[in-house]
A and B are shown apart, each in its own frame.
Chain A
């Protein structure tokens, strides 16, 4: 039980952010026309590539002077994260571009 209290107290700011972000996420999405569901899902998917920051930090903290499994996996994490971010935003833009073409 004490562990839980310690966990909550140490991370109280993050937990506040989480609680409020949940409401924010729900609010923002609730009134979306179904036309935009696919681009929205794709855009949200790109934002979830924010894990790339974690990848950068991970490799940044790893010793790169010697070859290790950790380094290889870390670089893979950065690569995958980049794919998610760049591919995600690019594809969302491609979808939305078509909505603009009105004659």
Chain B
């Protein structure tokens, strides 16, 4: 394996080197194929498997065939340490991923993203001191981006898990810009030195500053924007990995990292579009501050509805659309809504779900939750499709959703969410809104839908309300 095969432009390589590089090529191809398959419902699981297999392949070949600059393969002692570490990491990773509830999925993605960022940051930190490392610019970039992804993802995790509240001080915007400027300044300063490696202390400082920036960057961003932030941090982790790939001239890392970085960025843009927000706005400005002022006084009054009236109305409808939102996830009511759906179905009512792209806590999160409750995939209808059928819909049940059905997005030009695509619940003949109280949504603005003549409210915990309603319909 380790005899020299040939010497190419002054660099000799062995059979092992050739096999290693070929395995990287295979891995890279399967990353791309895997992600492509992941983007179709039918092939998604296979795609995930392919990508995982590609990763395992690259890990094994690296372990056995990688040669350090002196030409030696990894010694058995190191190999043992690495394998033990990987086994421990795998066990911990598997336990965490099996135990976490489906509603907590977004936090979990954010947490795993933090670990990836941390790994990139550590690789950057250690490789900077390596005198044989000639790509210091990318090393520093990898370090900075990885650290930001690490601390930012941890904060996003804390926010989604409800452990960290919103801190929105006007001052923070300026602190953010200052820290960012300091980061850029310090990076340039280090690189301009004739012997940058001697500035190890400054690099540790850079690491600390990047971690702080990650924290400060995510702290002021409201819960509603968390999906965008996670997606953005996700693509940052990819880019950080690619930067580390530069250090080792490792093509699998470069391709995998940049590919995920690009895919993540596009996903981020798709999400900001669905929410009618610009990325810059998410990053720099808080949402809530201005929103209160723009909310107008709404005419009309809130009308509550009795459980039996709701049961009768639903039983004698032809077509019912459920619009689930964050509140459904919080109340863990996905199974209860499925019960209601089945009961209505037995009575000959057509029940479908209108899924807003950013319903739940992450795009597509609502679909995952409903799939967990055995709701069939065909019943989940995307926003544009369901909006076409709205005028023919007898009843829309809004469960724990607010901003995604707010007609102000279509009607009130001054509203902060004006222009955001929403599900046009107002066009349906009747609307039943299930809410815990009269609290405002994430955007912190009034929802005129609640005051419309054809809207009735059912206050209470979504899960209890749905269970009572199902019983009521059963007893009719």
Give A contacts to B, CB under 8 Å: 7, 11, 13-14, 17-18, 21-26, 28-62, 64-65, 70, 73-103
Contacts and interface: CB of A to CB of B under 8 A. Distances in A.
B214 interface: no
A59 B90 contact: no
Contact of B262 (A24, A77, A78, A87): A24
28 contacts: A13-B251, A24-B32, A28-B35, A29-B266, A34-B355, A35-B41, A37-B270, A38-B368, A41-B230, A41-B234, A48-B261, A53-B62, A54-B119, A54-B123, A55-B122, A55-B123, A57-B66, A64-B75, A76-B118, A82-B86, A82-B93, A83-B96, A84-B112, A87-B108, A88-B109, A91-B97, A93-B49, A94-B98
Interface string B11-48: 00000000000000000000110111011110011011
B238 A48 contact: yes
A25 B26 CA distance: 17
Nearest to B376: A102
Contacts of A60: 62-63, 66, 68, 74, 78-79, 82
Nearest to B39: A32
B250 to A, nearest CB: 6
A51 B253 contact: yes
A82 B90 contact: yes
A44 B63 contact: no
A64 B81 contact: yes
Contact of A93 (B48, B63, B251, B371): B48
Contacts of B416: none
Interface in B235-252: 235, 237-238, 240-242, 244-252
Contacts of B371: 98-99, 101
B258 A22 contact: yes
A7 B137 contact: yes
Main secondary structure on B side of the interface with A = helix
A43 B38 contact: yes
A24 B31 CA distance: 11
Contacts of B116: 45, 48-49, 51, 80-81, 84, 88
B252 to A, nearest CB: 6
Interface residues of B, number: 116
Closest 5 CB pairs of A and B: A25-B262, A82-B89, A37-B364, A87-B93, A37-B363
Nearest to B49: A93
B120 interface: yes
A78 B109 CA distance: 19
Given A53-B62, A95-B368, A65 B112 contact: no
Nearest to A23: B262
Given A34-B364, A57-B250, A89 B52 contact: yes
B380 interface: yes
Contacts of B262: 21-26, 29
A90 B99 CA distance: 11
Interface in B256-314: 256-267, 270-271, 274
Given A28-B39, A38-B367, A80 B115 contact: yes
